[in-house]
Structure 1
Amino acid sequence: MSQPTRTPVRVILASQSPRRRELLAQIGITHDVRPADIDETVWPGEEPVPHSERLAREKAHTLALLHPEAVVIGSDTIVVIEGAILGKPVSRDDAIAMLERLSGREHTVYTSVAVAHEGRTLSGVEAVQVYFRSLTRAQIEAYVDTGEPMDKAGAYGIQGFGATLVERICGDYFAVMGLPLGRLVALLRELGYAYEFGPVRAR
C-alpha cells in the first residue's frame, strides 16, 4: 500500500540575504522571501551569542505573526574577535580596518537560526573558528575594492573572493556562509515537519 502524499508547507525566509536564499534552494526547500524589519541594536551588556540568537528568533517570530500559515526561518550571523562584534562595514575605511584586525588571526563566526510556526519558536547557534591568512594592506584594499565586503558581517564573504583570505576553518562551512543547513533541518523536524531532500512537508 502506498503512503499518503504529505502536503508541502509554505516556508518563508525572513532575510534578504542572497546567500541564504541560494542555500535553501540548494537543498530543495522552496520558499518565499520576506525580510524582517527589526531593531538589530546590541542591548547594553548583551553578549555576542545571546545577541545573535535573539535576533534570529525575533526575525522568525515577527514574520510568523504576519503569516501564521507558514513556517518561518530567521537567521543571524556575527563575526566576533576578542569579544567584539564586527558587523557590516559602514564605509571603505571601516571595511579595511576590520580586515586589518582579522589578518593573520583567528576569529569566531556565530550563526543563529530559528524556525517559528503556530506560536512556537525553536533556535540554535553554530560556532565556527575561522583562521585568516596574513594580508598586506594592498591585498586588503584590492579585496575591498571588489565591493564584496560591504554587505557582509566582518567585511568578508567566504563563498566569494573572500575564500582566498581564509587559511582554514573548524566547523560548519554553511554557517560561515550564513545558514547552518544541518541544524536548520533538525529544528524543522523538532518543530514537527518532515524534510526528505526536497520541500518541507507536514508529517
Structure 2
Amino acid sequence: MALILASASPRRVELLAQIGITPNLIVPAHVDETPLDRERPIDMARRLADAKAREVHKNHPQACIIGADTVVTVGRRILGKAEDEAQARAFLTLLSGRSHRVIGGLCVLAPDGRAVLRVLTTKVDFKRLSAAEIDGYIASGEWHDKAGAYAIQGLAGAFVKSINGSYSNVVGLAVHDVANALKGLGIHPPGLV
C-alpha cells in the first residue's frame, strides 16, 4: 500500500524520516486555509488536516494519506504564514516575552475510509526579543513559509525559553502520534520503528 504525505513541507518529510518513514509520494493538498467565521484555532487545525487528507485521497483512493496542519495562536488570534517582512515583524513582536500555542492537526486516512484524527497543542514560551534580534531574524529569511513567522528548529530556537508538549508538533508534525495512528489502523510502512 502506498503512503502519501499530503503536504509540500520539507520539514514534515524530515520528521517522518526521523521515525523511519519515507512516503511513496508527496502530494500537496490545495485547500483554502482561510479561517472560518468565528472558528476556534483548534477546530481550524482539525478541519484543515482532515480536508488535506481527503483532498489527496480523491485521486489516490488505494493509498494511506497523512494530512497535517499547523496553527500558531496567541489567545484566539491566529498567526498564519507571514505575507511580508512587516507582518513577520508584527508576529515576532507579538510573540516576544509571552506564551503562545502551536496546534497541530493530524489526519491519517486508510484506503478503506477509516481515519484517525488528532489535535495536539504545544505551549511555547518566548523570551523578550530585542529589536536587534527581531531585525536579525527578519534578515535571515527563515520566517518565510512558517506559521507564526518562526522555525523552532532553526535560529528561532534561541528565542524559546521552554515548551510544554511535543517538539515535533511545533516543527510541523507530531511524529509520535503519526506512528500511533498508523499502527492503530493496522498500517505498518517499511521502516516504521
Report the TM-score, using the length of structure 1 for normalisation. 0.90
For residue 150 of structure 1, what is the amino acid of its counterpart? H
Matched, 1:181 2:181: no
Equivalent of 2:10, from 12, 18, 30?
A: 18
The corresponding residue for 1:92 is: 85
Identity of aligned residues (%): 43
**Offset of residue 23 of structure 1:** 0.8
The corresponding residue for 2:185 is: 191
For residue 103 of structure 2, what is the amino acid of its counterpart? Y
The alignment covers a number of residue pairs equal to 191
Report the TM-score, using the length of structure 2 for normalisation. 0.95
C-alpha contact 1:60 1:121 (8 A) present in aligned 2: no
CA distance in 2, matches of 1:48, 1:77: 10
Matched, 1:71 2:71: no
**Offset of residue 199 of structure 1:** 4.7
**Offset of residue 93 of structure 1:** 0.6
C-alpha contact 2:13 2:22 (8 A) present in aligned 1: no
**Offset of residue 121 of structure 1:** 2.3
- CA displacement 1:122-180 (0-9 Å, x = unmatched): 21011001000111112101101100012100010000111011111011000000100
RMSD value, Cα: 1.4
CA distance in 2, matches of 1:121, 1:87: 26
C-alpha contact 1:113 1:123 (8 A) present in aligned 2: yes
C-alpha contact 2:5 2:65 (8 A) present in aligned 1: yes
The corresponding residue for 1:150 is: 144
CA distance in 2, matches of 1:102, 1:88: 14
- CA displacement 1:69-109 (0-9 Å, x = unmatched): 21000000011102100000011010000000000100010
Structure with max Cα Rg: 1
The corresponding residue for 1:101 is: 94
**Offset of residue 46 of structure 1:** 1.1
Could you list the runs of 5+ residues in structure 1 that have no partner in the other structure? 1-8
For residue 81 of structure 1, what is the amino acid of its counterpart? V
For residue 107 of structure 1, what is the amino acid of its counterpart? H
For residue 164 of structure 2, what is the amino acid of its counterpart? C
C-alpha contact 2:179 2:192 (8 A) present in aligned 1: no
CA distance in 2, matches of 1:119, 1:126: 22
CA distance in 2, matches of 1:157, 1:171: 16
C-alpha contact 2:124 2:160 (8 A) present in aligned 1: yes
CA distance in 2, matches of 1:182, 1:26: 11
C-alpha contact 1:61 1:121 (8 A) present in aligned 2: no
- CA displacement 1:35-84 (0-9 Å, x = unmatched): 00111111112111011110000101111121012100000001110210
Equivalent of 1:160, from 147, 154, 167?
A: 154
For residue 188 of structure 1, what is the amino acid of its counterpart? L
Could you list the runs of 5+ residues in structure 2 that have no partner in the other structure? none
Q: Residue 143 of structure 2 aligns to a residue in which SS?
A: helix
